């Protein structure tokens, strides 16, 4: 059996929505983007939503709106996808990494205040794997020190923190719609905020710096081509109409994994915090705490047609960051431990029960073989999976 790492949940409704756009003269800068923005803002509960071509672009524009520039510092976790730190570097500021809660994998609020300096301008809070970070104490610290708070909600559409919707918890939030996300536009992202001035700025910056009153080739400020096209917006609209179904399907797959993995020794299942009213399953990440078995397990699973991925390599250990900031191991203990023990296994809303059975059967077999020291050395091809 060959199982994909992830797969989008696409129906005839999405196909027809995109085909309708292709039969119009508006493939960009048309009505679908506006419709998608309005529907998304209503779903999240924000006043404004601005569509962009990726979550990374959205984070970049949020950093600009926050007034972050050369010499400033932004506090953020290292255990994250690299975009949550790169967006700071784009504006020549410096990301300051704090460690994570070892159970949730999210930023530890208790470590934030000590990381603040006179140059700190903002905090980027990441909701890792679809679980909301414990943001209330972070917001309290931010207000005390007059800092902007940006939610990186790229992995957490539909999640709820203490009954409140992710995306409405801070000054601005960013979502992403890559094909492995809860809903997809192929490539794409969305910025949400209640700040009217920022929303207008985002619309200008994504469109080469044009303002609404500018003539076509007049540009008020330095901008970017971060626009979302009409086909992507049409796909997003169709997916958003199904969002409750899409989230429920992922809930069901996660529940099946939770049940089966409970009986497999050597596997820690995802931990759900008390503050998480609703988990929004982006990926399904297990931990392998009992020794250096991950590479062996990945090799075994690959031979059975089951892909898996280490999730994440902490940002401060990425080659570019080590070369730029001279960071090494030992600075962020729990982030590094998570980077060494976490493993993402196949997950999507379209996974079938027999596929979940197959994955769990071979997870058990692989771990048993590892514990019995029956495996050969990991094959070189494992390096290509990282």
d(CA 38, CA 36): 6
Same domain, 236 and 248: no
Residue 5, in any domain of the structure? no
181 is catalytic: yes
Same domain, 187 and 251: no
Q: Give the pLDDT mean for 370-385.
A: 50
- pLDDT score for 278: 98
CATH number of the structural domain spanning residue 266:
3.90.1150.10
Same domain, 178 and 266: no
Same domain, 193 and 272: no
Q: Is the pLDDT of residue 382 over 90?
A: no
Q: Is the pLDDT of residue 383 over 50?
A: no
- pLDDT score for 83: 98
- pLDDT score for 373: 56
Residue 180, in any domain of the structure? yes
Residue 7, in any domain of the structure? no
Residue 165: strand, helix, or coil: strand
Same domain, 350 and 324: yes
Same domain, 99 and 226: yes
pLDDT tens, residue by residue, 267-308: 999 999 999 999 999 999 999 987 668 999 999 999 999 999
Based on the structure, what is the number of domains in the chain?
2
pLDDT tens, residue by residue, 55-105: 999 999 999 999 999 999 999 999 999 999 999 999 999 999 999 999 999
Residue 6, in any domain of the structure? no
Residue 297, in any domain of the structure? yes
d(CA 87, CA 93): 9
Query: In which residue are the tokens 């949020």 written?
Result: 62
Comparing 3-12, 179-188, 227-236, 321-330, which segment has the lowest mean pLDDT? Answer: 321-330
Q: Which of the 8 DSSP states describes residue 365?
A: H
Phi-psi region of 369 (alpha: psi -120 to 50; beta: other; left: phi over 0): alpha
- pLDDT score for 215: 66
pLDDT tens, residue by residue, 118-169: 999 999 999 999 999 999 999 999 999 999 999 999 999 999 999 999 999 9
Residue 374 sits in which domain range? 243-385
Same domain, 92 and 128: yes
**Residue finishing a domain among 241, 261, 278:** 241
**Residue finishing a domain among 241, 274, 301:** 241
- Our CA angle for 235, 309, 321, nearest 5°, is 95
Same domain, 55 and 70: yes
**Residue finishing a domain among 216, 241, 266:** 241
CATH number of the structural domain spanning residue 130:
3.40.640.10
Percent of the chain with pLDDT over 90: 89
Residue 4, in any domain of the structure? no
Same domain, 37 and 64: yes
d(CA 217, CA 310): 46
């Amino acid at each position: 059996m060959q199982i994909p790492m992830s797969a989008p949940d696409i129906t005839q409704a999405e196909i027809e929505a995109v085909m309708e756009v292709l039969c119009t003269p508006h493939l960009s800068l048309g009505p679908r983007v506006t419709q998608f923005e309005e529907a998304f803002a209503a779903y999240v509960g924000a006043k404004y939503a601005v569509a962009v071509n990726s979550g990374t672009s959205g984070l970049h524009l949020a950093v600009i709106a926050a007034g972050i520039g050369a010499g400033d510092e932004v506090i953020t976790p290292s255990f994250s996808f690299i975009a949550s730190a790169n967006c700071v570097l784009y504006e020549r500021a410096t990301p300051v990494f704090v460690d994570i809660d070892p159970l949730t994998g999210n930023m530890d609020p208790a470590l934030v205040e000590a990381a603040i300096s006179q140059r700190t301008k903002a905090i980027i809070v990441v909701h890792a794997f679809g679980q909301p970070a414990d943001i209330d104490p972070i917001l309290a610290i931010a207000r005390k020190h007059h800092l902007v708070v940006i939610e990186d909600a790229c992995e957490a559409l539909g999640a709820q923190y203490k009954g409140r919707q992710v995306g409405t918890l801070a000054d601005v939030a960013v979502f992403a719609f890559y094909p492995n996300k809860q809903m997809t536009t192929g490539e794409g992202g969305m910025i949400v905020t209640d700040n009217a001035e920022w929303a207008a700025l985002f619309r200008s910056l994504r469109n080469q710096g044009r303002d609404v009153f500018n003539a076509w080739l007049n540009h008020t400020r330095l901008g970017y081509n971060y626009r979302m096209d009409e086909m992507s917006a049409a796909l997003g609209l169709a997916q958003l109409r199904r969002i409750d179904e899409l989230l429920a399907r992922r809930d069901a797959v996660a529940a099946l994994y939770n049940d089966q993995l409970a009986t497999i020794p050597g596997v820690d299942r995802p931990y759900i915090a008390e503050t998480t009213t609703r988990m929004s399953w982006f990926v399904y990440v297990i931990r392998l705490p009992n020794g250096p078995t991950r590479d062996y397990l990945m090799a075994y699973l690959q031979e059975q047609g089951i892909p898996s991925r280490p999730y994440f390599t902490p940002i401060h250990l990425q080659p570019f960051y080590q070369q730029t900031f001279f960071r090494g191991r030992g600075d962020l203990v729990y982030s590094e431990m998570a980077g060494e023990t976490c493993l993402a296994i196949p997950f999507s809303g379209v996974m079938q029960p027999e596929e979940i059975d197959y994955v769990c059967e071979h997870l058990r077999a692989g771990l048993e073989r590892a514990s019995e020291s029956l495996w050969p050395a990991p094959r070189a091809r494992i390096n290509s999976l990282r």
